[in-house]
């Protein structure tokens, strides 16, 4: 099932299925492109920012950026 990256539970491995919006090229440059494996690691107290593990790096994204990325949770 496809969901917004900002809605995937912390510590759940997922794969990007689509990136939308005007920040698409910036997100591609950070490693958020179709097929990329992502793990949401941490979320700040208010939920406005999350840290994601992508391509052996930790990347912080605002919630509105995470809403532009659709991902599928990987079954384990």
H, E, C per residue of the chain:
CEEEHHHCCCCCCEEEEEECCCCHHHHHHCCCCCCCEEEEEEECCCCCEEEEEECCEEEEEEHHHHCCEEEEECCC
Q: Domain containing 15: what range?
A: 2-73
Average pLDDT in the chain: 94
User: How many other β-carbons are positioned within 10 Å of the β-carbon of residue 1?
Assistant: 5
The Cα 66–Cα 68 span in angstroms is: 5
Residue 51's CATH number: 2.30.30.90
Total structural domains in the chain? 1
pTM over 0.85: yes
**Tens digit of each residue's pLDDT (9 = 90 or more) over 38-75:** 999 999 999 899 999 999 999 999 999 999 999 999 87
- Residue owning tokens 């599928």: 72
């Amino acid at each position: 099932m496809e969901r917004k990256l900002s809605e995937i539970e912390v510590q759940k491995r997922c794969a990007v299925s689509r990136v939308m919006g005007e920040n698409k090229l910036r997100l591609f440059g950070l490693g958020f492109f179709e097929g990329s494996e992502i793990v949401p690691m941490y979320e700040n107290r208010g939920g406005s920012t999350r840290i994601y593990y992508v391509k052996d790096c930790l990347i912080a994204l605002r919630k509105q950026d995470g809403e532009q990325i659709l991902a599928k949770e990987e079954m384990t």
